[in-house]
């Protein structure tokens, strides 16, 4: 009996020592965060982290500790450092909120920072809004969504992608964002790793961080046409890696991967038993061909979709995920906990929206992108012509250029744009959205030009 008490005392002592060391480590992380902010460095340093990971593994071998546990613990520590350092990150959302505040004060702002179509949802949506009350979709419903809606979605998807999914493969969510959150949160555990190819929409990273999951970023460049290399991906995978996120057509670059490269990435994912979370929310906005992850028939693939962009229904908050029924089952448990179910009237309206032809939306946005590309060219901005989506991700080659500062300057002149930093280590980039009519876009690009002229 006294033996066990001695051991327990010892364990307590070690635990308290670890807590004190955690405090020391957190204080150091804060200081490093300050220095990084002063010299304009981004929070995550993959090379530095990789060096530490290698050292930890080698210590494990020396002392005989399970590497998997040690690296999971390391991931927890690395995430804590990122959390204490990630204050005040300026993204398209923070600029959007500032812009809204200025509008409240009576200022006119051109919104080229958010990806929100300026056109209206299909007219069928208006009729559906009127008729839903009488249809009686007004009560609590199934967690995964109304069976009739999921059935209709399954048919819609099967027709489009020549698949054979059923309603069991679908969960309806309040926007793609929520499906992304439930997929990452339920399929991965704290200490697991997720690969995000940057530049990327920030929520993948934020959802992972929120759940104690370690993000491994793969940085791509304009020079490499925003394509990750197979070596980069292979090098990043270790026994803790559980998921890779794909988002093509991409926000913010508009990139669609060459088919062969995408095939190879799926092959690697299969070989390493990784989930593939494919956010295909921009699939309706493409210049040429594009291949859905659904076409690989991979049982660990999850596709997220939304009515926000395709049907200009951002405010309705409705989207869905498609995956193997076991994955849907896991996601629905968290959804039940958070939501009970997605609003049934909204589901009915979205179901009706599927009857409309939205191909004109794509034409409108692609024409606007052509205009933005032409204007970007005139201003000597470096870009890769987008294959789809609704954005131009441009590098401004001016000495000392800082996207956040620049976005704040254009905002003062009435133009909201997204700083590149919100999408990863892209300080000298900005993202310009093609979500306004052509006259407004020209006006916006003129403000951009004027602000650029203040730089050397
Ligand atoms: N994924 C990407 C890549 C996005 O750009 C956005 C919204 N900007 C979303 C998901 C979220 O979409 P939803 O409105 O359906 O939540």
pLDDT at 45: 86
Q: Which CATH number fits domain 92-119+359-452: 3.30.930.10, 3.40.1190.10, 3.30.300.130, 3.90.1150.10?
A: 3.90.1150.10
CA of 116 to the centre of ligand 1 (A): 9
What are the tens digits of pLDDT across the range 376-403?
999 999 999 999 999 999 999 887 888 9
Whether the pLDDT of residue 1 is over 70: the answer is no
> Which atom of ligand 1 is nearest the CA belonging to 314?
14
d(C-alpha 375, C-alpha 378), whole Å: 5
Q: Comparing C-alpha atoms, which of 420, 437, 403, 389 is closest to residue 287?
A: 389
| Strand, helix or coil for residue 426 | coil
Mean pLDDT score across all residues of the chain = 95
CA of 304 to the centre of ligand 1 (A): 9
Is domain 128-353 annotated with CATH 3.40.50.150?
no
What are the tens digits of pLDDT across the range 81-104?
998 887 767 788 889 999 999 999
Whether the pLDDT of residue 186 is over 80: the answer is yes
* Residue 242 backbone dihedrals phi, psi, to 5 degrees: -125, -20
The pocket around ligand 1, CB under 6 angstroms, is made up of 115, 175-177, 201, 247, 251, 279, 281, 306, 308, 314, 319
| Mean local confidence (pLDDT), 201-227 | 96
Pairing of strands 391-395, 214-219: unpaired
What are the tens digits of pLDDT across the range 239-254?
999 999 999 999 999 9
The preferred substitution site among 178, 179, 200, 309 for testing ligand 1, maximizing ligand atoms within 8 Å of CB, is 309
CA of 140 to the centre of ligand 1 (A): 26
Prediction pTM value: 0.93
455 band by pLDDT with thresholds 50, 70 and 90 = confident
CA of 177 to the centre of ligand 1 (A): 6
Q: Comparing C-alpha atoms, which of 387, 393, 196 is closest to residue 290?
A: 387
How long is the chain? 456
The preferred substitution site among 179, 306, 307, 390 for testing ligand 1, maximizing ligand atoms within 8 Å of CB, is 306
Instruction: Tell me whether the omega of the peptide bond preceding residue 2 falls within 30 degrees of 0, making it cis.
Output: no
Beta strands in 163-300 (DSSP E): 170-173, 193-198, 214-219, 241-246, 275-279
| Strand, helix or coil for residue 308 | helix
- Which of 13-52 are b and which e, b meaning 16 or more Cβ less than 10 Å from the residue's Cβ? eeeeeeeeeeeeeeeebeebbeeeeeeeebbbeeeebeee
d(C-alpha 104, C-alpha 85), whole Å: 32
| Mean local confidence (pLDDT), 310-335 | 97
pLDDT at 394: 97
Structure tokens at 69: 């546990």
Better-scored residue on pLDDT, 156 or 34 = 156
Whether the pLDDT of residue 288 is over 90: the answer is no
Fold type of domain 14-85: Chorismate Mutase Domain, subunit A (1.20.59)
Q: Which residue minimizes the CA distance to atom 8 of ligand 1? A: 115
CA of 432 to the centre of ligand 1 (A): 16
Bridge partners (DSSP) listed for residue 302 = 277
pLDDT at 166: 98
| Strand, helix or coil for residue 34 | helix
pLDDT at 232: 96
Structure tokens at 63: 């002392």
Whether the pLDDT of residue 368 is over 80: the answer is yes
d(C-alpha 260, C-alpha 368), whole Å: 29
| Mean local confidence (pLDDT), 192-219 | 96
CA of 343 to the centre of ligand 1 (A): 19
Domain edges within the chain? 14-85, 92-119+359-452, 128-353
Whether the pLDDT of residue 2 is over 80: the answer is no
> Which atom of ligand 1 is nearest the CA belonging to 250?
3
| Mean local confidence (pLDDT), 248-263 | 98
* Residue 229 backbone dihedrals phi, psi, to 5 degrees: -95, 155
Q: Are 407 and 98 in contact (CB under 8 A)?
A: no
Whether the pLDDT of residue 208 is over 80: the answer is yes
The preferred substitution site among 251, 307, 350, 423 for testing ligand 1, maximizing ligand atoms within 8 Å of CB, is 251
> Distance of CA 110 to CAs 175, 350, 434, Å?
25, 29, 11
pLDDT at 442: 97
Q: Comparing C-alpha atoms, which of 206, 209, 235 is closest to residue 75?
A: 209
CA distance between the termini of the chain: 77
- Looking at the chain, the whole-number percentage of residues with pLDDT higher than 70 is 99
Structure tokens at 110: 């051109």
Q: Where are the alpha helices (DSSP H) in 40-66?
A: 46-63
Give Cα 256 distance to the centre of its chain: 15
CA 16, 21, 26, 27 dihedral sign is positive
Whether the pLDDT of residue 409 is over 90: the answer is yes
Q: Are 278 and 303 in contact (CB under 8 A)?
A: yes
Vertex 414: Cα angle to 98 and 105 (nearest 5): 55
CA of 281 to the centre of ligand 1 (A): 7
Structure tokens at 303: 């596709």
* DSSP codes joined into one string, 352-378: HHTTS--HHHHHHHHHHHHHHHHHHHH
- Which of 247-261 are b and which e, b meaning 16 or more Cβ less than 10 Å from the residue's Cβ? bbbbbbbbbbbeeee
């Amino acid at each position: 009996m006294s033996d066990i008490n001695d051991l327990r005392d010892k364990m307590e002592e070690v635990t308290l020592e670890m807590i004190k060391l955690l405090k020391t480590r957190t204080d150091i992380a804060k200081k490093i965060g300050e220095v990084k902010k002063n010299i304009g460095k981004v929070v995550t340093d993959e090379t530095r982290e990789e060096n530490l990971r290698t050292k930890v593994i080698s210590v494990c071998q020396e002392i005989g500790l399970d590497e998997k546990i040690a690296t999971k613990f390391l991931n927890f520590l690395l995430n804590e450092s990122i959390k204490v350092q990630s204050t005040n990150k300026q993204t398209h959302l923070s600029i959007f909120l500032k812009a809204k505040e200025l509008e409240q004060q009576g200022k006119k702002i051109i919104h080229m920072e958010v990806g929100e179509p300026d056109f209206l949802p299909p007219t069928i949506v208006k009729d559906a809004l009127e008729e839903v009350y009488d249809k009686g979709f007004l009560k609590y419903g199934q967690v995964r969504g109304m069976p009739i809606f999921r059935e209709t979605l399954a048919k819609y998807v099967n027709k489009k992608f020549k698949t054979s999914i059923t309603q069991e493969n679908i969960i309806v969510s309040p926007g793609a964002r929520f499906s992304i959150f439930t997929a990452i949160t339920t399929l991965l555990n704290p200490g697991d790793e997720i690969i995000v190819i940057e530049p990327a929409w920030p929520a993948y990273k934020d959802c992972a961080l929120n759940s104690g999951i370690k993000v491994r970023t793969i940085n791509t460049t304009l020079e490499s046409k925003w394509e990750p290399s197979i070596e980069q991906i292979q090098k990043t995978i270790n026994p803790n890696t559980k998921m890779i996120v794909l988002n093509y057509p991409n926000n913010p670059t508009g990139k669609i991967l060459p088919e062969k490269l995408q095939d190879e990435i799926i092959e690697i994912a299969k070989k390493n038993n990784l989930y593939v979370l494919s956010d295909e929310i921009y699939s309706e906005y493409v210049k040429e061909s594009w291949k859905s992850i659904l076409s690989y028939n991979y049982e660990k693939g999850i596709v997220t979709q939304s009515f926000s962009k395709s049907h200009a229904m951002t405010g309705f908050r409705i989207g869905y995920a498609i995956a193997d029924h076991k994955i849907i089952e896991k996601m629905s448990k968290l959804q039940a906990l958070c939501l009970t179910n997605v609003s049934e009237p909204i589901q009915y309206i979205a179901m009706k929206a599927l009857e409309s032809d939205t191909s004109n939306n794509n034409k409108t946005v692609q024409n606007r992108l052509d205009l933005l590309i032409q204007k970007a060219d005139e201003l000597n901005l470096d870009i890769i012509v987008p294959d789809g989506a609704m954005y131009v991700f441009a590098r401004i080659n001016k000495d000392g250029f800082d996207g956040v500062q620049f976005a704040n300057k254009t905002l003062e002149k009435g133009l909201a744009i997204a700083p590149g930093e919100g999408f990863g280590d892209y300080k000298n980039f900005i993202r310009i959205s093609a979500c306004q009519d052509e006259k407004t876009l020209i006006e916006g690009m003129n403000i951009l030009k004027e602000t650029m002229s203040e730089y050397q």
